[in-house]
Amino acid sequence: MADVLSKIGLFISAHHVMTLATSRDNIPQSCNLFYTYLREEQLFIVASDPKTEHMQNILINPNIAGSIVLETKAVGKIEGLQFKGTMREADKSLGKYYFEAFPYARVMAPTLWVITPQTMKLTDNRLGFGKKLNWSRDVASE
């Protein structure tokens, strides 16, 4: 489990933008968000205005899905993460991590949110075509 989580954490830490999917009344919505990742806790911290459609969805239905990808046309270099979890407003104490990564955001005084992934799947073709590494809060497997 630790090896899988370590590889997933390395991939996540090498990027800073995710695509987030939400839904309300069976109507999906997606957006892109800057994030920071707390590896020890397996948590993402993001900033978003509570008035946006995706955040209004979260306030009603906190279940989310998301992805982080490396853009490449080279099949042997394809990497991407898919995750599912829940989202809630962040405790103020977590702001230090987000603002360390994105200091310019502090002047906007954004609302910060925490994503708690329940499952994550990393596809990494560098380890073999279509190689998938799976992690969940309960069980991890390769």
What's the domain range around 43? 2-141
| Number of compact structural domains in the chain | 1
Amino acid 132 reads K
What does pTM read for this prediction? 0.89
CATH number, domain of 52, equals 2.30.110.10
Pick the residue with more confidence: 124 or 54? 54
What span, in angstroms and rounded, lies between the C-alpha atoms of 74 and 44? 28
- Using DSSP, state whether 31 is helix, strand or coil: strand
pLDDT at 13 over 80: yes
What span, in angstroms and rounded, lies between the C-alpha atoms of 80 and 12? 9
pLDDT at 119 over 90: yes
Q: What is the pLDDT of residues 55-90, one digit of tens each?
A: 999 999 999 999 999 887 777 777 899 999 999 999
